[in-house]
Amino acid sequence: MDALDQLKQAAADTAVQLVESGMIVGLGTGSTASFAIEALGRRVQDGLRIIGIPTSERTARQARGLGIPISSLAEHAELDLTIDGADEIQRGTLDLIKGHGGALLREKVVASAGRRLIIIADETKIVDQLGTRFAVPVEVVPFGWQAAERKLQRLGAHTALRNGPDDKPFVTDGGNFIVDCSFSPIEAPHALDDQLNRVVGVVEHGLFLNMTSQAIIAGRDGVQVLRPAQPAVH
Ligand code: A5P
């Protein structure tokens, strides 16, 4: 395992210790979240009783393979906590960019149905300003996506329709496309959040503001638990 994976695993293992028997747990998506699901699988084999709500088909498959019971928001509309990764985490606010893995819509729905969102990451994900290294993924309906893209460009974004490995548009679990929007960097995340929400054809976007309850960050000097300057709103 390379050094970065060791950090991801350290953050994931710390987060999984917060999970208690009887909890309904949101299961994130991505390489860091996948370490948390592995660790949860080990705890389930040792007798931990939880129900997982997956944020993607990929995560659902992994959880099933490890024997973690999974369910949906239809049966459990309120979760105790969600453990998920992030692409960028803003120092202080712990606001996020998520969705590089393409699961942002379900990730946001699950996170907002939970009482706590625990973000796990290696220290390279911390930024002073969002949009420094990653574009904001914006999920759009395929019908007329070009019109939505034009509006995103008018908001100042450099846009790119995300392609899958087959060079065709990447299709999310919800059957939508993703337009990656680079604003490098984002000066006013809350204003941008409002503007993105008003673009017709946009289903959801990867700015997760005021949602993080704790960020568990692993670095070369150990694991730190960060809390946002303002409490999260769920
Ligand atoms: C998935 O859609 C994303 O939100 C991921 O949580 C995010 O991209 C972080 O992924 P890694 O843990 O693989 O860096």
pTM of the full structure: 0.96
Quote the pLDDT of residue 9: 98
What is the atom index within ligand 1 of the atom nearest the CA of 85?
A: 6
Is the peptide bond prior to 185 cis by the omega test (within 30 degrees of 0)?
yes
Helices 3-16, 31-45: inter-axial angle, 10-degree rounding: 50
Give the mean pLDDT of 224-228.
97
pLDDT of res. 233: 84
CB of 205 within 6 A of ligand 1: the answer is: no
Q: Which residues are catalytic?
A: 107
- Phi and psi dihedrals of 41, rounded to 5? -60, -40
Q: Nearest C-alpha to atom 8 of ligand 1 is from which residue? A: 100
3-state SS string over 38-63?
A: HHHHHHHHCCCCCEEEECCHHHHHHH
Q: Give residue-wise pLDDT tens across range 42-85.
A: 999 999 999 999 999 999 999 999 999 999 999 999 999 999 99
pLDDT at residue 234 tops 80: no
Does ligand 1 have an atom closer than 6 angstroms to the CB of 105?
Answer: no
164: phi then psi, degrees, rounded to nearest 5: -85, -175
Looking at the CA of residue 104, tell me the nearest atom of ligand 1.
2
Name which of 148, 127, 233, 135 is nearest 198 in CA terms.
Answer: 148
pLDDT at position 231 is 82
Residue 101 has pLDDT above 90, yes or no: yes
Nearest to 83 by CA among 47, 34, 44: 34
Q: Tell me what the pLDDT averaged over the chain comes to.
A: 97
Helices (H) and strands (E) in the chain, counts: 6, 14
Q: Is the pLDDT of residue 230 over 90?
A: no
Ligand 1 centroid to Cα of residue 12, in Å, is 13
Residue (of 164, 97, 122) closest to 15 by Cα position: 122
What is the set of domains in the chain, with CATH numbers?
Answer: 3-127+209-226 (3.40.50.1360), 136-201 (3.30.70.260)
Cα(19) to ligand 1 centroid in Å equals 20
Question: Cα–Cα distance between 203 and 217 in angstroms, integer?
Answer: 30
Q: What is the mean pLDDT of residues 154-176?
A: 96
Question: What distance in angstroms lies between residue 182's CA and the mean position of ligand 1's atoms?
Answer: 17
Ligand 1 geometric centre to CA of 85 (Å)? 5
Is the Cβ atom of 84 under 6 angstroms away from ligand 1? yes
- Give residue 3's pLDDT: 95
Ligand 1 contacts CB of residue 97 (under 6 A): no
Whether 87 and 96 have beta carbons less than 8 Å apart is answered as yes
pLDDT-derived band at 1 (thresholds 50, 70, 90) equals: confident
| Alpha carbon nearest to ligand 1 atom 9, residue | 86
Report the separation in Å between the CA atom of 82 and the middle of ligand 1, taken as the mean of its atom positions: 14
In percent, the amount of the chain with pLDDT more than 70 equals 100
CB of 126 shorter than 6 A to ligand 1:
no
pLDDT tens, residue by residue, 119-154: 999 999 999 999 999 999 999 999 999 999 999 999
Name residue 180's beta-bridge partners.
137, 160
Instruction: Give, for 36, the enclosing helix (H) or strand (E).
Output: helix 31-45
In the chain, the N- to C-terminal Cα span, in Å, equals 36
Q: What is the pLDDT of residues 32-44, one digit of tens each?
A: 999 999 999 999 9
Taking the CA of residue 28 as reference, the ligand 1 atom at the shortest distance is 6
